[in-house]
Chains A and B, each alone.
Chain A
Amino acid sequence: MPETQDNKAKSPMLARYRFYLRQRPALLVVLSILAIVFFLAVTGLARSYYDRREFLGNRWSARGFADLKAQNYDAAVTDFRSALLYARDDYSYQLNLAQALIGLNRTGEASAYLLNLWDREPDNGLVNLELARIARQQGRTDQAIRYYHGAVYAAWQRGQENRRRDARLELIDLLLENKDQGDAQSELIALAANANDEPALQKKIGGLFSRAGDYERALAAYRTALKTNQHDAASMAGAGHAAFQLQRYALAQHYLKSAVAADSTDSQSAQLLQTTESVLRMDPFRPQISSVDRTKAVKDAFATAGQRLASCPLPDKGTPGPAGTAPSLNDEWNSLKPRITTAGLSRNPDLADTAMNLVFRIERQTSMVCGMPTGTDLALLLIAKLHEGS
């Protein structure tokens, strides 16, 4: 009974509550409270959701970094793709995925990622460098040069100077490959100006200067490299080569000799040394030469030229001139031959000049007709070049 009475007492109160709760303004208040409660609940849910995603993203990316480091590119691609499921726009994941794809030679896919990254950060050095490499690989030289420039002037996260320098070295290599010597030289000068004396770098610079045809700077770079590492065979060979190109044969001989002594397997330097020594030995105009040696050198040179003429016959036609047709080189050589004797050369010192002049012309003509000579003929040709205009 008491319970029933209690219920009866409560029922009007409940009815009143219900009445108020059914009023629209009250319902709106209830809705607002519910919205706040649900909002807080969803916030908690969202936090847990994002924490889980972050955890998964980190886990996959850690695997990816390890695989990339181990050059396990296939697995790295899968790992970074998985990581990107949880952080679609993560710059580092995308960049590493692109690098893994490059490792697999899937440059098309890689460049799609890299171009996106480039759109987001055009100043990123690594993105520019990778894009440049892909463009170079695909033969798009102009774009490659543009991206290399981007990489040279871009911001790098670590080791900015070294990364910029490496990018510039690649750019120079591309320019040289495309026979753009002028631009390559400009880039090289800028590179050399900022380069330290590290032998490896100087050696590389020297090599690039050599490829660009700037042998003076190449020789300087090799010499800088040799200051720190005096016994580096490659630097000595490079210096010897540069000196040879500069027609500084005595210096070339010095470096090449050292190079061959340091590395006996360097056949190129050995061959160059042989030519250098031939030049030095066969040159009758070299300073401080005795008259006997000079006579011998002229006679040897004349004989060598004769052999060259015999092995590479020139057209039997003289050069037409105002006084009629000039005699052919063969005729000239034949007519001069009886006079080229020790006695004849001693009697007439000018005969040596005449003989050597003919030798030089023969070597030049035959090199044009039959290609570059070797051995003593090459040495004579180089001597001809050395005394051109003198």
Chain B
Amino acid sequence: MDLQSNPETEVIVENGGQHAATAWIHEHSPRELWRLAFREDRLFLILSVFIGIFSGMAVVCFRFAIDWSRLYLLGTGAVLAPARMLLAPSLAGLIIAFLVIHFFPTTRGSGVNQTKAALYIFNGNIPIRTAIGKFITSALAIGAGHSLGPEDPSLQIGACLASLLGRKMRLSRDRMRLIAPVGAAAGLAAAFNAPISAVLFVIEEVIGRWSAGILGSVVLSAISSVVVMRWFLGSESLFRIPTVELKNPTELIAYAVLGAVGGLASVVFAAGITTLRPKCKQLPLWTQYLQPAIAGLLIGVIAMLGAPQVMGAGYEYIDQAMHGQFTWQFLAILAGAKIIATLLSFVSGTPGGMFAPTLFIGAMLGASVGGVQHVFFPHLTGSAGTYALVGMGVLFAGFLRAPMTSVFMVLEVSGNYSIIVPVIVANTFAYVISRALQPIAIFDLLTRQDGLELPSMEELREEDVLRVEDAMQPLDGPVLDSEKTLDQALLQLDGTGPEEVLVRMNPSGWNTANKKDLQTLANEGKGGSKLGSLLPIRQVPFLHPDHPLEIALRYVDRWPVVPVVSRADFRQLEGIVSQRAVLERYREFGEG
């Protein structure tokens, strides 16, 4: 409620204290309090909790659906029947293709990118049909053994539910834009059972900026969804975490090697997806009906050849790898087979996520590298579980290119902070290698392949920022002191320098004066007066050298010269910026 524009308020101002009581009563009336309580920013927070609750329940149902489809399609045992291995993913692929082409075309592609598109392009709108389609097709695909994970669909289901609730609540456009990421965080948190990682991922990969308003909503929705999820599925983590410790700092070299191997694997994985996906999309339309089925058949063949672990999300096998139940040779085979299986599933357009496969590949690769290192350096104390955990973070950093999330994900999943140093070392190596060999992150590549131009969070993070110091120039001429007389000031000016001069005010602040105006004042006989008393009362804004240059744009059109002062001493002039200098700097920057 804008008081200035309220006619009642204006009356109060005119009639004085008599109406003050009436105003207070009005402001504290139940109706006003009601309105205040349901102000949009507060409503947004309440809505975030509801988004979390609904997303949590949706993700729980999604998990049930995946499990049920697995039981009915692949069987109830740990050892799969060969016929089921081949038939289940193939037939499911046919049904999925039909559903996707005819009923749910928006379920293809990455949920992360679709949430970003909702944020940046569609004003927060995601059709609920997308969630329904994602739920059905992803549950069928993952349950039937396609090498995909439930996290990305969960994220998108959360975002869709949030968008629906936002629309029903008729939120403003600004709030609507932000509602999809809030739902995405809820969905991801429930799928991962890791609220901190989900919040970080959404901030790092979807929103790209930290602000108190959005952070509160994202955290609330993530927490409430995790609470709901734990209510139904229990609080145990996705894997049983083995004892983790770093006894000898020299072992960090081993983790660095793991980081390098993981970085290279990430590049291979990403290159496979970005090369094959457009080729599959370019094939004739009728082949789209068969692509998921063929992918499913090939995954079945991989499973029959001795790696049934690649089917589905594979969390139970991550758990086994962590507990040293595979040899390092088999772990390496599993990592390679999973890359192929996930490539097949993803590029064929089968809906599902890449988080779980990424973790699977990372865990297998990590445990395998750990195993090899133990062969050659038996004194290393890191267990297979430790290397597998670090490996998961490595692929997360290298392939998904979410370095912060990758570190916190491992910490949150393991619940052990002693692993932080190996994780940071390995993830840094993986991230740097992946960044060097594949400059554009996988999410951005997929977006561009889909013909969308969404902001790249990685590029935003690493974008060069122009600062005031980049456009700052030394002052050409003297700085006048407000305590000096006009005559003294004119003497100091000595007829040289620019027309507009800076005046240092006492005790603080800055002003400007025009030479001609000063001369006119002197001619009027005010030469003995102090300069400060002659100047109009106004404060010229000042900047610091480290301010972003865009702040200078707020002032340079109104003030011909804006002083740039030291942060330590606001009276110490470092230089000046002018509109011309700022624009010149931006032009140079734009030209590269």
Contacts and interface: CB of A to CB of B under 8 A. Distances in A.
Given A38-B54, A82-B76, A88 B240 contact: yes
Interface residues of A, number: 33
Interface stretch (A41-49, A146-154, A372-380): A41-49
Given A42-B57, A89-B240, A116-B240, A60 B76 contact: yes
15 contacts: A28-B38, A28-B46, A35-B50, A35-B54, A39-B57, A42-B57, A42-B60, A42-B232, A43-B232, A46-B60, A60-B76, A82-B77, A88-B240, A113-B323, A116-B323
B64 A78 contact: no
A318 interface: no
B236 interface: yes
Interface of A: 22, 24-25, 27-28, 31-32, 35, 38-39, 42-43, 45-46, 49, 52-53, 56, 59-60, 78, 81-82, 84-85, 88-89, 108-109, 112-113, 116, 119
B43 interface: yes
Interface in B139-169: 165, 168-169
Interface string B39-58: 00001001000100110010
Nearest to A39: B57
B77 A60 contact: yes
Nearest to B63: A49
A31 B50 contact: yes
B325 interface: yes
Given A24-B43, A78-B77, A46 B232 contact: yes
Given A39-B57, A88-B316, 13 more contacts: A24-B38, A24-B43, A27-B168, A31-B50, A31-B165, A38-B54, A42-B232, A53-B67, A78-B79, A82-B76, A89-B236, A116-B240, A116-B323
Across chains A and B, which 8 residue pairs bring their CB atoms closest together, nearest first? A81-B78, A82-B78, A82-B77, A112-B323, A112-B324, A46-B232, A42-B57, A24-B38
Contacts of B236: 88-89
B170 interface: yes
B50 A109 contact: no
Contact of B243 (A42, A89, A113, A119): A119
A16 B53 CA distance: 30
A25 B61 CA distance: 28
Contacts of B77: 60, 78, 82
A82 B61 contact: no
Nearest to A78: B79
A307 B286 CA distance: 104
Contacts of A56: 71, 76
B240 A85 contact: no
A365 to B, nearest CB: 51
Contacts of A49: 64, 67-68
Residue with the greatest number of chain A CB neighbours at <10 A, chosen from B78, B233, B319:
B78
Nearest to A35: B53
B240 A108 contact: no
Interface residues of B, number: 33
Contacts of A52: 71
Contacts of B243: 119
Contacts of B233: 46
A85 B50 contact: no
A116 B385 CA distance: 12
Contacts of B67: 49, 53
B172 to A, nearest CB: 12
A56 B75 CA distance: 11
Nearest to B60: A42
Contacts of A89: 236, 240
A359 to B, nearest CB: 59
A109 B236 CA distance: 23
A154 B447 CA distance: 60
Contacts, number: 72
A116 B319 CA distance: 12
Given A78-B78, A82-B79, A89-B240, A25 B34 contact: yes
Contact of A42 (B38, B61, B319): B61
B76 A24 contact: no
A29 to B, nearest CB: 11
A35 B323 CA distance: 40
A110 to B, nearest CB: 10
Nearest to A28: B46
Contacts of A24: 38, 43, 169
Given A24-B43, A35-B54, A89-B236, A109 B169 contact: no
Interface in B105-162: none
Contacts of B165: 31
Interface in B177-211: none
A85 B71 CA distance: 11
Contacts of A39: 53, 57
A159 to B, nearest CB: 30
A255 B243 CA distance: 57
B385 to A, nearest CB: 9
Nearest to B50: A31
B64 A109 contact: no
Nearest to B168: A27
Contacts of B76: 56, 59-60, 82, 85
A39 B64 CA distance: 15
Given A24-B169, A25-B34, A116-B240, A46 B324 contact: no
B163 to A, nearest CB: 15
A46 B64 CA distance: 8
B23 to A, nearest CB: 25
Contacts of A109: 325
Contacts of B319: 88
A108 B324 CA distance: 8
Interface string B18-34: 00000000000000001
Contacts of B53: 35, 39
A85 B76 CA distance: 9
A85 B54 CA distance: 27
Nearest to A108: B324
A160 B170 CA distance: 69
A40 to B, nearest CB: 11
A25 B240 contact: no
Interface in B294-331: 316, 319, 323-325
Contact of B316 (A35, A85, A108): A85
Contacts of B61: 42, 45
A384 B34 CA distance: 113
Contacts of B50: 28, 31-32, 35
A20 to B, nearest CB: 13
A122 to B, nearest CB: 13
A116 B243 CA distance: 10
Given A35-B54, A82-B78, A88-B240, A25 B38 contact: yes
Interface centre among B46, B50, B71, B77 (most CB of A within 10 A): B77
Interface in B201-250: 232-233, 236, 240, 242-243
Nearest to B319: A88
Nearest to A47: B232
Nearest to A25: B38
